[in-house]
Structure formats: structure tokens, C-alpha cells
Chains A and B, each alone.
Chain A
Amino acid sequence: MTNHENVQCSTCTCGLCCTKIQNFGVTRNKFEILKNVDLHIHCGDLTAIIGPNGAGKSTLLKAILGEIPHTGELIFLDAKSKRTGRPLLGYVPQKLDFDNSSPMSVFDLFAAARTGIPVWLSRSKHLHQSVKESLGKVQADHLIDRRLGALSGGELQRVLLALALEPVPDLLLLDEPVSGVDQNGLQMFYKTVSDLRTNYDLSILLVSHDLNLVAQYADRVVFINNKTVESCGTPKQVFTDKRVIDTFGIDWTNQLKNEKGGIE
């Protein structure tokens, strides 16, 4: 088994920075969506959240973002416990809210996020260059002048990832689209996200729908079901959990062994 002494889900023993989600609960319109969620996310870890549709995966991300009210606490500790409080967040949404025909370029999106100078007024060469560099980190610099609505699912995902990394966050939240990204695009996205762990000092929390890729790339897997975390651990531990197998209907351990030539 891969050596993961930090795989525990409710302690931070790694000595690196850590984001603690303590006793999270979300109730909307008197309907309980999440309860008793305890999760510690370590720096340099890719933590994947899986679970059936409607289990509250995206809701957990929105609660962490502070977009919807929640009970419990979100605490961030850096490596030497110098800086504590709310972590700096980066977020990659599932999709965009406005319609695809909107005349907004990739550059416009970055300029709006990074400067106070109205996008409709100026177009600085310097900023253009710097945005291009940001996009280059996810192999998307050629997309800078394309319209957001004209991007493919995979391209949009990479662009949004580049935006989330500007500035580099403590905690990167990714909400993977349910559809619209082809297999090649997904593979490339996981590879890029996975590489971030080595290049930056950040933790990654990814809501995922692709169990194969989760098994391949995630350090830890969190299974959310029945409003709370039902199983948490290494991909192997979680995918052999009976509750996970019951939900997804396949014995993922066998699948894993076939694909990776055995996980041990």
C-alpha cells in the first residue's frame, strides 16, 4: 500500500498547512442537506469527494465558499501556525451562469477578476501578457482572445482553473462538470490538477463524477452519502467500503487492480 500516514480524515499530523472543516451542517428551507461533516484537508493532497447525485457534494463546496449559510467552522492553519483564519480560496465552477452567446473573452474574465479598471474601457498590453502567462500554466494561452461561450467543456475547465490559481489559493475547490467534457479533456484536467500538488503549496478539494480518474489521481477519497461523510480514506479503503460498493454498484477494487496492476 502506498505510504500515506496523513490519510486520516479528522486529524492533521503532517505538520504542513491544514484546512479543518469542523462539524459542518447545512440546512436550507428547513431541509437538512448536510450534517456532522468533519474533514481535514492537508496541503499537497488531492482530496476527491464522491457520492450519489444530490448527496450534497456541491453544497459542501458552496458552504466552504460561504455562499450558503452553514453551522460548524472552517479553520485554516499554515505550516507554522503563523497565519490562521479563513483560507484563501480558489474555485472552479461546474458551469457558467450566463448564456453561451455572450460576447465575453477569456481575457475579459481575467481582467475583471484581477483589476479594478473597467473591462469595457481599457486593454493594457502588460495585463494581456500576464494573463497569457497565467493561462500558459494550464496549456491554455492560445485561448486568451476566444469567446468564453465558444470554448469546449475541457477548454473552459482549464481556463477557470487558471483563474482560480490567480492568486495561488490555500485551498482549491473544484466542481467537476457532470457532462460536456470528453474523456481526453478529463484526463488532461486531472493530470494538470495533480501536477499542481508538486508545484504549489496548496490543498485541493475536488468534487468528482469519474471514479476511474479518482482512483488514479486522488490521495484521499471522501464518500458523501445520507447527508454526511460515510467513508473516507485512501482510494483503496473507500472503494472497498461496502456502502460505496452498494451505491455505485460495481466492485471498484477489482477495477483498480486491473487498471493499475494492483494498488498494493
Chain B
Amino acid sequence: MPVLHDIINTFNDIFGHTFMINALLGILLVTPLFGLLGTMVVNNRMAFFSDALGHSALTGIALGVIVGIHQPLWSMICFSVLMTVLIIIVKKANTASTDTIIGVFSSTAVALGIAILSSRGGFNKYSVYLIGDLLSINSTDLLLLAIVFIIIVVLWFLVFNKLLLVSVNHSLARSRGINVQVYEYIFSLVVALIVTISIQWVGIMLISSMMVLPAAAARNISKNTRQYHLYSVSIAVISGLAGLIFSYFLDTATGATIVVISSIFFAVTFLIKLKFS
């Protein structure tokens, strides 16, 4: 079986490198989370929100630099949590439509981040955050990811039904004794957490596509919540694995390759939808 032999050889070739193994494990941990959370992000029309969170990472990094933290992850998380809370509070005040408010925060965060980072003599060393580097995942990152994975999956078990009712209609959820605000915060903060942690691997520019595309593609072919989750997670994981392998051979940025594959899924499912409905 020379063909099989070739495949095994290729496989050994790819995953003979530690960084590839780490990237593989990282993708297996992070893409299912994107698939899961993405379903609700798309339902609640929060694509723009996750994009804004990604952008806010720049200011998070900048604050980390000012405070003198070597590893900017923690300052990024703190800032994205702060921004999430602020967006929800300002949204509640009903001064402008949600997309305007998110736009205001997003552009402020980007501008502030660039201003601070460029003042220290060159923005270039931070440009890695713009496109991310999935192959830089190390074993400490993997441990952190594993913990986050467990927390989010457990949370998704516990709060999903309530989140779903809140997304259907706030008053309806309220009439069934659900504290709408609490669940709004829980969900937004979980999204903020996973977006911020993944920025360094996926990049600011692509993070929201990673979140939105698998769910958007799954929606085209799902009729109920179960199918929606199943397809969304599958598309996210398959795109992740395929993207990793293709990027190895084509020598392209892994995050971008994953997103391109997800968008192919979107195109295909869209055509299926057109044909069968």
C-alpha cells in the first residue's frame, strides 16, 4: 500500500515538529469553543461586538507595556473585561444604537492602543498581534487553554438554555424568572475571555471571523439548535485541522488559512441552502 505509506510519511513529516503538535492540540482545544460560542454570537447579532473586543486587545497590550508586564495577556484580559462591562452599561442607557456604541468603543480602543504603542519607538514589534501566530503555542499556553476549555464547556452545559431564552426575548425570559442582565454579562464576558486569549495565535484582524464563520455556515443547513451546534463545532474543528495542514505545505499564516477554509464552508452550505429550500 504505497499510497497509505505516503500518507503516513507525510503525517510523520508534519507532526514530527513539536510546534506542530502543540498547534494541533491548541486547535483541537480552541476551535470547538469558537464553534460553540459562535452559535450564540450570531443569534444575538454580536459579530461586531467580538470584532470590537479583538481590537480592544491593542489597548490591552499597550497598557501592559506601560505597567511593565512582560506577558501582556493579563492586561489584555483586564482591559477586554472592562470594555465589555462599559459597552453593556452604555448600551443600557439607550443613547444610540448598539452598533454605534460598539463602534465608538472599538475605534477608541484601536486609536488609544496604536497611539501608546507607537510612542515607544515603533509599532512593528507588536504587529505579530495583528495576524497572530498559531505555531507559537507552547505547553504553558496549552495548559491555560485546557483550563479555559473545561470552564467554558461546563458553563455551556449550565447556562445554555437560559441564554437561549434571553436571546429569544428579554421579557419572556424575565417572566420565567431569569435575571436577564446576569446572563448577558456571563455570555459577553465568556466571549471576551476566549477572544482575548486567542488573539496572540489568531490575530486581531481575523479573530471575529473565526468566531462567526463556522456558525454562519452551520446556520445555512440547520433546522434546530442541536444541528446548529453539531455543524458549527464540526466546521470549526475541520477548518482548523485542514487550515493547519494546508498552511504547513503552502507556508501561509495558519489563522488566515483556517478562516479561508471556513469561508469555503460558508459558500458551500449557502449553495446547499439555495438548492434545497
Contact = CB atoms under 8 A, between A and B. Distances in A.
Interface of A: 29, 61-62, 65-67, 89-91, 93, 95-99, 101-105, 107-109, 111-113, 115-121, 123, 145, 147-148, 160, 163-164, 173, 175
23 contacts: A61-B171, A62-B171, A67-B180, A91-B174, A93-B172, A97-B169, A98-B44, A101-B219, A103-B219, A103-B224, A104-B43, A104-B164, A105-B225, A113-B161, A118-B156, A118-B157, A118-B160, A119-B161, A119-B164, A147-B224, A163-B172, A173-B175, A175-B171
B174 A65 contact: yes
B169 A104 contact: no
Contacts of B228: 103-104, 120
Nearest to B233: A120
A65 B224 contact: no
Contacts of A62: 171
Contacts of B227: 103
Given A61-B171, A67-B180, A103-B228, 20 more contacts: A93-B169, A96-B168, A96-B169, A97-B167, A97-B170, A98-B43, A99-B43, A103-B219, A103-B223, A104-B168, A105-B224, A108-B164, A112-B165, A115-B161, A117-B161, A119-B164, A119-B225, A120-B39, A120-B160, A123-B226
Contact of B174 (A67, A117, A148): A67
A97 B171 CA distance: 10
Contact of A145 (B43, B45, B169, B224): B224
Nearest to B221: A103
B224 A107 contact: yes
B222 interface: yes
Contacts of A93: 169, 171-172
B172 A160 contact: yes
Contact of A66 (B43, B164, B174): B174
Contact of B161 (A61, A98, A116): A116
A163 B169 CA distance: 13
B96 to A, nearest CB: 14
B221 to A, nearest CB: 9
Contacts of A104: 43, 164, 168, 224-225, 228
Interface in B78-127: 93-94
A98 B94 contact: no
Contacts of B160: 112, 118-120
A200 B12 CA distance: 69
* Interface of B (DSSP majority class): helix
B70 interface: no
A128 to B, nearest CB: 12
**Which 4 residue pairs are nearest across A and B when measured between Cβ atoms?**
A91-B175, A103-B222, A120-B229, A105-B224
Contacts of A164: 175
Interface string B152-183: 00001100111011011111101110001000
Interface string B221-247: 011111111100000000000000000
A65 B170 CA distance: 11
Contacts of A107: 224
B164 A112 contact: yes
Contacts of A115: 161
B237 to A, nearest CB: 15
A96 B44 CA distance: 11
A102 B169 CA distance: 13
A98 B166 CA distance: 10
Contacts of B222: 103
Most buried by B among A62, A104, A111: A104
Contacts of B223: 103, 105, 145, 147
Contacts of B165: 109, 112-113
Contacts of A160: 172
A56 B229 CA distance: 39
A96 B168 CA distance: 6
B224 A91 contact: no
B270 to A, nearest CB: 12
A29 B180 contact: no
B161 A111 contact: yes
Contacts of A175: 171
